[in-house]
Chain A
């Protein structure tokens, strides 16, 4: 069901429900989410760490029937999430790992499960409660060591579905995580003048040209795609 369809059903039900004519069906519920840290495969797609297809724009939507043990929830357009040969970033961790979820919609939850292979390593039951806005699970990986593909499953309470997130980990023997061998280099910002370019750090007063017009920066920011000067009067003033 598309978002729009769900919204129409929801809005219609929400309008009629106060009159007692319709009971809001649970099937219109719209839970979505994924593991953000350590970066799951879909988080890496969303963050541009790894080039991906449509999953980049909907990392929260890896939804499939409960009981699956793959990374893509049997959603064909997300199949690349199951591809172990893509250059997924592997996070070095110790035996104990904190997993943080992010949600676009939080819905009644049966539990969260963590698997390595077919082995269940942790369960966090929620008894059909709505998860908190921020969810962090501390998981003890026990005997697991070396490079693993961990599968986290968010089992929804009142539908047959679950959400799936795979996280690539390098588990060290000790209790503390190994230091990240490749710290991100600090990018050197190019000179803040000339033609407007996404990724450039501009300071107040920076002057750029865009499509033949000259603009002056009104506040310091790093330019992003979608923030072109003509459509962001709060950031850029034509001079």
Chain B
């Protein structure tokens, strides 16, 4: 039984890729030998994947339901650019032989307000809001907070990430999300 528990623990830890360093005390920023990424890169991408997926769903709803043309157009561009980024990120994780999702149990995050990745309640509010002025203001409010979270994640990568592709993506995320927040602010 004890051996079984240890096996499960090892499996879970390996599946996460994040706890490993915390429990072994290996430096967080040094890439493992023979690789060009560190675990900040991995964590950034694993957190950003669900973050992007939710942003895409929010934008897709706004493409259909926003009343104002400029909001629909911004949403469509956010949808398109984040879909490109998502494809890239998944490709890198696969190339690095890392799980695409860090989250073993989605419910584990519920008590944390969705952390800085996805927050299902946010999506639900938008799904439940019909077309009309309420939709526009809720979308702008919720996506602003969502993109604030994206900037926070990307700044972590800028600070501690190693991989040049992932760092370049983080730079683009900081710049584009900051600009999106400005643009959404002008529509509020």
Interface residues of chain A, those whose CB is within 8 Å of chain B, are 2-4, 7-12, 14-19, 24, 28-33, 36-37, 39, 43, 46-49, 56-61, 100, 102-107, 130, 132-134, 184, 198, 219-222, 224-228, 231-235
CB contact under 8 A between A224 and B180, given known A7-B47, A11-B16, A234-B81: yes
Chain B residues positioned under 8 Å from A134 (CB to CB): 125, 138, 141-142
Contact A30 B148 (CB under 8 A): no
- If A4-B159, A7-B156 are given as contacts, then 5 extra A-B residue pairs at C-beta distance below 8 Å, sorted by A number, are A14-B103, A19-B8, A103-B113, A184-B186, A234-B80
Chain A residues positioned under 8 Å from B36 (CB to CB): none
B167 near A: Cβ within 8 Å?
no
Please provide the 10 A-B residue pairs with the shortest distance between their CB atoms, ordered closest to farther: A226-B176, A47-B185, A226-B175, A234-B80, A106-B113, A102-B145, A221-B77, A104-B149, A224-B179, A11-B18
Contact B121 A132 (CB under 8 A): yes
Contact A46 B138 (CB under 8 A): no
Partner of B185, one of A4, A46, A132, A224: A46
Contact A15 B180 (CB under 8 A): no
Interface size class of B (residues with CB under 8 A): 35 or more
Which one of A2, A8, A105 has the greatest number of beta carbons of chain B within 10 Å?
A105
Number of A-B contacts (CB under 8 A): 208
Smallest CB gap from A8: residue in B: B22
Chain A residues positioned under 8 Å from B151 (CB to CB): 57-58
Complex-state Cα separation, A18 to B108, whole angstroms? 9
Complex-state Cα separation, A16 to B141, whole angstroms? 35
